[in-house]
Every structure is written in structure tokens, then in C-alpha cells.
Amino acid sequence: MQTYFNIRYEFDRKAVWERIDRQVKEGKADYICVADGVILDHANRNPEYLKVVNGGMFAICDSSYVPLYLKWIYGKRYEQYCGSQIFRDIVAGRKYRMIFMGTSQETLDGLQNRLAEMNPEVKGMKFIELPFRKVEDFDYPEIARTIEEDGADIVWVALGAPKQEIFMSLLKPHLKRGVMIAVGAAFKFYSGTDVQRAPEWMVKHHLEFVHRIYKEPKKQLKRCWGIVSTLPGLLWGEWRRSKKQPKVRA
């Protein structure tokens, strides 16, 4: 793991999979944050939320821009591992029992049907709509009982950032086992009933944010403004930290 922009990232995909597998085998409860630009922005504005993001196993890098910044500042090459990709990898891997929590029942129904095409075992798994309420008002002991009775190894959570990360941190003390992963928009992307992910050429050229602004202008423009206003200070701070260590070319 490496800490950049104050977030504990794990960029090595093999290490991500090995750590998840070990956590499941050891029967321990924990969570993984999928850190996109929104989480990066919120975490560096709110120290308590930063503690939540860094309080789990690690964060994977959902932002396509963070690797570019790190290449520029440190000369190191890292890859993005976005939420929708780890979601697909684990579901298609057919290795774990899973439970899916959050969003609307319509989206969950569509998601179950779509995921069953890549993993037929999904048909026998639970898709649970969580009520719309403040994050501190959920009945965490009851949610934990539902998960443990199900025997799920992986708990997918989609409540949107920063709510879903706080949800996982509050649920963790009540769980005996299971790896929680917050994937935000992945439920929508794979449900076939909501916003679709950007075309591959836009993702490849770091233009996914343009697609999301087009689909959800009010929501995404507000988020982008927050990210842009925070970014100069983050880049400056990371550049100053880089001067304390030799730059190594990848």
C-alpha cells in the first residue's frame, strides 16, 4: 500500500485479490473504499471522513486522473481499478457468496437479472433495498444479522459517497465476518435500468466525467466543482512531499 493525497491506496490488483481472499478465509469483517475524485475531495475537506476512508483494509483507485498526477509528480506508473471493474471481476469470478445492499428495488431487480447472465448463482443471492434515511439512523445490528444469516463473504454497498463509506464503518463493529465494498454507481451501470457507463473510448481518454455530466448535469457539475477547487492544494501538497524523496522513473 502507498499513501498519496492522504489516502491509503492499494494499486496492485493481485494484492487486492489476495487480501480479500485472506480476509474471507480468516472470517474477519472489514471494508474497502473505492476512491474516486468525489471521495478524494470529501476526504481532504473533512478529517473525520478521511479517517473513515483510511479506516478499512485499503482504498482502490477509481480515479483515472490520480495515476496521471502520480506519474507527473513521482515518475511512477500506477493503474486505475474502478468500482465497476472490481465489481464485475468478483461477480464473474464465481468464488464468493455475495449480498447486494442499497439503491431502489427496481435497480436491484434489474441488477440481479443482468448479473445472473455472468454468474447464474446470483439468482440465489439476496438483493436488499435499504430505506432512505440518515446514515446514523440505520439499524446496524439488524443489518448485520441479515448478512450473517445469509453467510455472505462479500457485501456490496451502493448508497453514494460519502454516505456508503460511513455506512460501512458503522456496520463493521456489528459484523463477525465479510468484506464490504462500496461501489456507488456500479449497481446503476449493470442494472440496465439506470445511467450507463461511458463508452470505452471515453474511459480510455479520461473523459468519463463528461459522459456523467451529460447524463446527470446538476449532480455531477456540483461534484466536479468541488474536485476542481480542492485539486490545486492537493497537487501542491503532494509535490512538496515528493521533494523529500528521490524521484524514481518507472
Sheet with 7-9, edge to edge strand ranges: 2-4, 7-9, 58-61, 29-35, 178-182, 154-158, 98-102, 126-128
Local confidence band at 233 (pLDDT 50, 70, 90 cut-offs):
confident
Q: What is the three-class DSSP state of 198?
A: coil
For 75-104, where are the alpha helices, taking DSSP H only?
A: 83-93
Local confidence band at 184 (pLDDT 50, 70, 90 cut-offs):
confident
Mean pLDDT of 236-248: 80
Residue with cell 466525467: 209
Mean pLDDT of 103-122: 94
In a 10 Å sphere around its CB, with 0-12 CB exposed, 13-18 middle and 19+ buried, how is residue 217 labelled?
Answer: exposed
Domain ranges of the chain: 2-239
pLDDT at 224: 61
Q: Decide which of 228 and 115 is more confident.
A: 115
Residue 221 has which C-alpha cell?
457539475
DSSP letters, 156-179, are EEES-TTHHHHHHHHHGGG-SSEE
- Contact present, 167 and 161 (Cβ < 8 Å): no
* Predicted TM-score (pTM) of this structure: 0.86
CA dihedral 137, 138, 141, 145 (to 10 degrees): 170
pLDDT at 100: 98
pLDDT at 218: 61
Local confidence band at 211 (pLDDT 50, 70, 90 cut-offs):
very low
Is pLDDT at 163 greater than 50 in this prediction?
Answer: yes
Q: What is the pLDDT of residues 53-77, one digit of tens each?
A: 999 999 999 998 999 999 999 999 9
- 26 vs 187: CA distance, rounded Å: 28
